[in-house]
């Protein structure tokens, strides 16, 4: 273990997988010459232009290339510069990569990883700051991971590259420079296993991506009020580890779900609904959601700050359903 930042944990996972498996290659806009987020820094020099492939500015072409390469036996790792740009190529996502293995009766494997920076906080405005994971989670045939820490980023990306199905790795831009302890050797974190980030007995907080860090801040403040919150990071949204979430809810009897995406039709609604269906008898308060308002992400710094969910919003939600202890 040694501390490295999130983006370097991703870089290390990519390099180690490319060294291990010659069928793995990286492609996307500027991934070789001028990596926009720095994740593929130094890889062109190490692996050459046949395995670190700069592409034209055409998301549809990039993902079409990945679908064809994967069906032919390679393992492409695609970088889409911003998650927002993915929708230029949604036919390739929804009608091709998500369905080909099913429609070929399992004979065609689609081992594709699509990496996408997501989320707000940097005044990049409405077309570069969205959290759109719920749209991907609605498509059968895809897998979706949202690592919140450097350790999870490396382990989940490694598992995603080795998976024979299309996996979307959504990386919050605020996480890129966060540091954490990461093993130097290769390791895999199985998809579909949640992590209990903080144990607690009074309320379950399920938070995704960068909101995990806001939830942990909120849990510390709540502890000062006598409320012990259990914080769970699902880590992967598809497949989703509801067993860990339900076990926690049956212990705490309350649940608050937190994500940065807009609340309406957000992924938190799916978690809340499954909790209500499977553990209604254990609940002592209604499931609550903390999320962004139904509005495009503002460009203005103070407006964006007001728009994005934060630890104080989580504290207020938890306090509304959890009685403080004397």
Residue ranges of domains in the chain: 2-182, 195-321
Alpha helices in the chain (DSSP H): 6-20, 43-47, 59-71, 90-91, 100-103, 133-137, 150-162, 211-224, 242-252, 267-279, 301-307, 311-321
Right CATH for 2-182 from 1.25.40.10, 3.30.2020.30, 3.40.190.10, 3.40.50.970: 3.40.50.970
CA 107 to CA 54: how far, in whole Å? 30
Fold annotation for 195-321 = Rossmann fold (3.40.50)
Question: Computed from CA positions of residues 127, 128, 129, 131, in that sequence, does the dihedral angle turn out positive or negative?
Answer: positive
Query: Is the fold of 2-182 the same as that of 195-321?
Result: yes
Q: Using the CB atoms, write b or e for 143-154: b if 16+ within 10 Å.
A: bbbbbbbbbbbb
DSSP one-letter string for 174-236: GGTT-EEEE-SS-----TT--EEEE--SSEEEEE-TTHHHHHHHHHHHHHHTT--EEEEE-SE
CA 213 to CA 310: how far, in whole Å? 9
Cβ 228 vs Cβ 202: under 8 Å: yes
CA 163 to CA 142: how far, in whole Å? 11
What pLDDT score does 320 carry?
A: 95
CA 307 to CA 126: how far, in whole Å? 12
Provide the 8-state DSSP code for 30. Answer: T
What pLDDT score does 90 carry?
A: 95
Select from 156, 4, 2 the least CA-distant residue to 77. 156
pLDDT tens for 245-281 read 999 999 999 999 999 999 999 999 999 999 999 999 9
List all residues 6 or more positions away from 235 whose beta carbon is below 8 Å from its beta carbon. Answer: 145, 146, 147, 148, 152, 156, 189, 193, 194, 195, 241
Give Dmax (Cα) for the chain: 65
pLDDT tens for 5-56 read 999 999 999 999 999 999 999 999 999 999 989 999 999 999 999 999 999 9
List all residues 6 or more positions away from 303 whose beta carbon is below 8 Å from its beta carbon. Answer: none
DSSP one-letter string for 228-260: -EEEEE-SEEETT-HHHHHHHHHHHS-EEEEEE
Provide the 8-state DSSP code for 132. Answer: -
**What token pair was written down for 146?**
């949202």
Within 13 Å of residue 174, how many CA atoms lie on the same side as its CB?
19
What pLDDT score does 326 carry?
A: 58
Q: Which residues are catalytic?
A: 128
What pLDDT score does 324 carry?
A: 73
Stretches in the chain below the pLDDT threshold 50:
none
Cβ 272 vs Cβ 287: under 8 Å: yes
């Amino acid at each position: 273990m040694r501390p490295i930042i999130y983006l370097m944990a991703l870089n290390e996972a990519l390099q180690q997988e490319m060294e291990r498996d010659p069928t793995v290659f990286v492609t996307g806009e500027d991934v070789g010459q001028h990596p926009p987020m720095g994740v593929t820094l130094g890889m062109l020099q190490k692996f050459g232009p046949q395995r670190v492939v700069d592409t034209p500015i055409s998301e549809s072409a990039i993902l079409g290339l990945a679908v064809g390469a994967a069906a032919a036996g390679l393992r492409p790792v695609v970088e889409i510069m911003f998650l927002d740009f993915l929708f230029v190529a949604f036919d390739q996502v929804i009608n091709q990569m998500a369905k080909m293995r099913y429609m070929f009766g399992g004979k065609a494997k689609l081992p594709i990883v699509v990496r996408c920076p997501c989320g707000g906080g940097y005044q990049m405005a409405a077309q570069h700051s969205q959290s759109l994971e719920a749209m991907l989670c609605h498509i059968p045939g895809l897998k979706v991971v949202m690592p919140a820490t450097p350790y999870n980023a490396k382990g989940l990306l490694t598992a995603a590259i080795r998976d024979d199905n299309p996996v979307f790795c959504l990386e919050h831009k605020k996480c890129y420079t966060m540091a954490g302890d990461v093993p130097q050797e290769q390791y895999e974190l199985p998809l579909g296993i949640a992590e209990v980030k903080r144990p607690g007995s009074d309320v379950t907080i399920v938070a995704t991506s960068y909101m995990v860090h806001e939830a942990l801040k909120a849990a510390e403040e709540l502890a000062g009020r006598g409320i012990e919150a259990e914080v769970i990071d699902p880590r992967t949204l598809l497949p989703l580890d509801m067993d860990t979430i339900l076990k926690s809810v049956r212990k705490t009897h309350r649940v608050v779900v937190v994500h940065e995406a807009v609340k309406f039709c957000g992924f938190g609604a799916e978690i809340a609904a499954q909790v209500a269906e499977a553990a209604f008898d254990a609940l002592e308060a209604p499931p609550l959601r903390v999320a962004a308002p139904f509005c495009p992400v503002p460009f203005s710094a103070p407006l964006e700050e007001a728009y994005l969910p934060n630890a104080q919003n989580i504290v207020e939600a938890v306090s509304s359903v959890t009685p403080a202890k004397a």
